[in-house]
Structure 1
Amino acid sequence: MMMRASIGRRIVWLCLGAALVLPGSGRAQGPSPKVEAIEDLTYATIDGRELKLDLARPAGEGGPYPAIVAIHGGAWRAGDKADLRGLLAELAGLGYVAISPQYRFCPETTFPAQVHDVKAALRWLKGNAERFGVDPDRVGAVGFSAGGHLALMLGVTDEDDGLEGPVEDGQPGTRIQAVVNFFGPTDLAADDLPEISKPLVRDFIGGTAEEKPEETKAASPLTFVSEDDPPILTFQGTADPLVPPSQAIKLAEAMAEAGVDGRLELIIGAGHGWRDPELSRTKRMMVEFFDLHLKGEGEPPSYLRP
């Protein structure tokens, strides 16, 4: 992922190690003294299995703070919530409550289980708003690769789209106010998906687009873009070997047609992830985007200023 893909083991490493070179990623060496970090909180129990998340928040009794759900990548089949602990701590140091949930993997568990899981984590976060000092009306999501796809699904789907999963009476809704998508796929039925990505999508859906057209459509964020969606910022490398830039461009075009606010940032020559100086720049843009839409304070982001 930190270099363009070739054949064999490097392709697999690129796919499954997606979180390794992303903004704020990597396992934390220890939280800042001003940050409280809690690991392995159970947010749901499904078929006897506890699903857990990590959380970081500003230390003390302040708040309520805006919140961010950070979702790891790994082709819906691998990855670790712990890879984003550094990002959680950094966001908490900037005045956010941040969580990173685990979710069930394919091919053992196929779509829509992964969407159900991240929505359950979001409901848990809102349901525990008072406990952790969260403002449930100021929540965003960020994700990387497959996690970007899931973050988009949080942003563009509504409670009546049939993707909520099990919901108990009285649980909060899953509407959010901002999405940052790092090279997540948007159209899983696209005919220009690279050959290396087709079996990954097939395992996620449980069949090919020809075999399961309705499921593939329902698993594609592009299907649900509408005028009431939150602002979306997408980062996409133009040389991505797994997610072609056409995926991000389609999303941007659909957003423009529907009147959804946001931005597409194409990183020229970048693959499925990048290092500095683009790493620091995109990280700064992510924070500015969340500050604008979740805090509503300060000047417009640097990329909107002349």
Structure 2
Amino acid sequence: YAKKPCLLGRSRGGLWVSSWAIQHSDKVAGIAGIYPVFDLQTYPGLNRAAPAYEMTADELKASLDQHNPIAKVNALAQGKVPVFIIHGDEDKVVPLKENSRALWESYRAAESEEAIELIVAEGQGHNLWPGFFHSQNLVDFAIRQANAGAQSEKPNRKPKPKTSPNDAWNVTKDLEYAQVDGKSLKLDLYRPKKAQGQLPVVMWVHGGGWKQGSKNRCPATWLVDQGFAVASIEYRLTDVAQWPAQIEDCRAAVRWLRTHAQGYGLDGEHIAAWGGSAGGHLVALLGTLDSPKEEMVSSRVQAVCDWYGPTDLLTMPPNMLSDKRTLEDLAKSNGAKLLGGTVKDRPELAKQASAFYQVTGDDPPFLIMHGDQDPGVPLEQSQRLHQKLKEAGVPSTLHIVEGAGHGGKAFQSPQVRKVILQFFKQYLR
């Protein structure tokens, strides 16, 4: 058996899981959580929690720095203990902000954000929504970390030779591609070490609801082994700036790659954009929006791979009124945070930020990939964009990943990678 398990906690179970992991961070392969508790002040509250610690509420309050997990999570963040959480933004029992979001902020402050993934389920509270329990991303994480813990403890096994992508890659981290309002925007550049000549570039744009995510997690690096350069970029999130800051940053990154192509062995005439979820939304707009006329260096891309991105903000369920969604819910949605207001209040801005309304006949070729079980972004979002592109005469392929949800292991399968590789080879070489 493994001495480094992956721990899973739901609701109050997160309190026990995190408390144990904080004390034994070297014995944990990972932590998975479904709306987990990290701040016992929010749930179950001091009065209800105190008896478990054999204290009065006042005594527990005075010693929170010793007993409250959220006060001690630096041990997890600094140790880069892998964490995956799914949490509803309408949770009134275990509030997102004081619990899972606070843990994510601790990891970010410790510069360990690549070790934590927080999926925010829009419009969901502390309930039995199937998306919490059928999350393929959570399942993949738990299996991956449990296997890692088991492998590290199996006896009588000769250690495998240590390999690193850096044996075949050159990775240049934190290249500044722009400065905006005093903030440095950076990208990581991956190139094969033995490459000759100028390489076509695939620029990866991360997801995260436009409010979180990191360039440090780049699922496109396998393309380096196929003779491509890969750039993974960061961009301003919605806690810093609203639309159109995000697309402006993506354009600036393309211009930087094109301007510095010769110095880094890149083919500035062949740049593609690839992104997932919110990143898919942004790369679709890189492909469909007209380039600013004042550009001295073009931000146009030659191909787009859109993974399950929202393409019409006006029809995304979290942005629409329904029996389960009030105006207050709409105001808290990721779309409203992106636009600085609801789509009801800013319909024209929502259209400008939606690739579906920007399609023209001179757009670059598209490869659109979407799971048929996606609970976050309806498959229809990709189907409608694909049809619009085809009607405009733009080469477009829609690849539906059967059984897949919003991302997950299915999108890393050999079959999916084969389709992506063929697409980039066709349009970048």
Other structure's SS at 1:38 match: strand
Paired AA for residue 233 in structure 2: P
Question: Which residue in the other structure is 1:10 paired with?
Answer: 86
- Whether 1:118 and 2:250 are equivalent positions in the alignment is yes
Measure, in 2, the Cα distance between the counterparts of 1:215 and 1:277: 31
Counterpart CA distance in 1 for 2:313 and 2:336 is: 9
Classify the secondary structure of the residue corresponding to 2:377: coil
Q: Which of 231, 244, 249 is the aligned partner of 1:99?
A: 231
Specify which of 257, 267, 275 is matched with residue 143 of structure 1.
Answer: 275
Considering Cα pairs closer than 8 Å and 6+ residues apart, tell me whether 1 or 2 has the greater RCO. Answer: 1
8 Å contact kept, 2:137–2:409: no
Q: Tell me which of 173, 179, 188 is aligned to 2:298.
A: 173
Alignment of 1:161-240 (within 5 A): 170=296, 172-190=297-315, 192-193=317-318, 199-240=333-374
Change in Cα spacing, 1:201 to 1:191, as seen in structure 2 (3 Å) is closer
Structure 2 residue corresponding to 1:131, chosen from 263, 269, 282: 263
Please state whether the residue corresponding to 2:187 is helix, strand or coil.
strand
Structure 2 unaligned blocks of 5 or more:
1-33, 36-84, 89-117, 122-134, 142-162, 320-324
- Measured against aligned partners, the alpha-carbon deviations of 1:16-48 in whole angstroms (never above 9, x if no partner) come to 9999979xxxxxx84342321110111101111
* Partner SS state of residue 131, structure 1: helix
State the partner residue of 1:254. 388
134-143 or 59-68: which moved more?
A: 59-68
In percent, how many aligned pairs have the same letter?
35
1:123 alignment partner AA: R
**1:29-86 Cα shifts (integer Å, max 9, x gaps):** 84342321110111101111111110011225622111111011100000110011x6
Contact 1:19–1:83, Cα closer than 8 Å, also in 2: no
What is the TM-score of this pair, normalised by structure 2? 0.59
Aligned partner letter, 2:346: K
Is contact 2:210–2:278 with CA below 8 Å preserved after alignment?
Answer: yes
Which amino acid in the other structure matches residue 236 of structure 2? Answer: R
Give structure 1 regions of 4+ aligned residues with deviation exceeding 6 angstroms.
Answer: 16-22
Alpha-carbon shift at residue 281 of structure 1 (Å): 1.7
- Contact between 2:173 and 2:189, CA under 8 Å: does it hold in 1? yes
1:228-252 Cα deviation digits (max 9, x unpaired): 1111011111221110011011101
Name the Cα RMSD after superposition.
2.8
Following superposition, the deviation at residue 91 of structure 1 comes to 1.8
Residue number in structure 1 paired with 2:378: 244
User: Partners of 1:280 and 1:263 in 2: how far apart?
Assistant: 18
TM-score by length of 1: 0.82
What is the aligned partner in structure 2 of residue 81 from structure 1? Answer: 215
Shift of 1:147: 0.5
Q: Secondary structure at the match of 1:227?
A: coil
Residue aligning to 1:26 = none
Alpha-carbon distance in structure 2 between the residues aligned to 1:225 and 1:234: 14
Q: What is the CA deviation profile of residues 216-273 of structure 1, one whole-angstrom value per residue up to 9, with x for unaligned ones?
A: 1100011111111111011111221110011011101101110110211122332101
Residues 223 and 276 (structure 1), Cα distance of their counterparts in 2 relative to 1, 3 Å cut: closer
> Cα distance 1:74–1:155, how it changes in 2: closer, same or farther (>3 A)?
same
The Cα shift of 1:189 comes to 0.5
Code of the residue aligned with 1:182 in structure 2: it is: W
User: Is the 8 Å Cα contact of residues 308 and 369 (structure 2) preserved in structure 1?
Assistant: yes
- Secondary structure of 1:281's match? helix
Contact 2:195–2:227 (Cα < 8 Å) also in 1: no
Q: Higher Cα Rg: structure 1 or 2?
A: 2
Q: Which runs of 5+ in 1 are unaligned?
A: 1-6, 23-28, 296-306
Tell me the alpha carbon deviations over residues 157-207 of structure 1, each in whole angstroms, 9 at most, x when there is no partner: 1224x8x8xx5xx4x201111111110010000164576897011111111
Deviations 1:101-143 (A, max 9, x none): 1100014311100000011011000000101111111111110
- In 1, distance between residues paired with 2:289 and 2:384? 17
Aligned to 1:35: 169
- 1:87 aligned partner, one-letter code: A
Mark the CA change 1:209 to 1:287 in structure 2 (over 3 Å): closer, same or farther: same
Aligned length: 275
Q: Which moved more, 1:10-19 or 1:150-159?
A: 10-19
Partner of 1:158: 290
Correspondence for 2:414 = 280
- In 2, Cα distance between the equivalents of 1:74 and 1:245? 18
In structure 1, the residue matched to 2:201 is 67
Aligned 8 A contact 1:107 1:204 in 2: no
CA distance in 1, matches of 2:290, 2:366: 16
